[in-house]
Amino acid sequence: MPVRAPVPGARFVAEFAASRLPTPADRRRYQAEFVAELFGEPALVQFRRSLGVLSRTYALRAALSAARAPLLAQRRKQPFNRRLRCRALHWHSWAGFSTDDGSRYTACAVCGRDRPGSPHWMSGGLMQGITGGGGGIG
């Protein structure tokens, strides 16, 4: 049985709701999530669901902004030349931070941008020689 794609009107409303979110990463994530929820539903259900998402967008925006506030509070006021390095030259000062539940992430200490890609401890950067990688007898 073929999966029903979202109707254009419902998809537009879901994408518009996501476009109201604070950061580009949040917009991309929630746009994909909102549209994915529409797949396989009848057209009327798609419209109802997308309008429900739109009605709760500002509550989600407030929650995402409040969740980002601790990171912004951790950063101290940086001199102009360091802010310029981040914004214009994309030379970031990466630092490790942790969330409330204890998971770690890397972000710029100046502008707060999340580091793209997986952290070095997950990709094998530091542990690559210890955990494997050949060289054994065999």
What is the Cα–Cα distance from 67 to 100, expressed in whole angstroms? 10
Query: What are 39-92's pLDDT values in tens digits?
Result: 989 999 999 999 999 999 999 988 888 777 665 655 556 677 777 788 788 888
| pLDDT given for residue 115 in this prediction | 83
- The mean per-residue pLDDT over the stretch 95-101 comes to 80
**Three-state SS annotation for 70-125:** HHHHHCCCCCHHHHHHHHHHCCCCEEEEECCCCCEEEEECCCCCECCCCCHHHHCC
Asked if residue 106 has pLDDT above 90, the reply is no
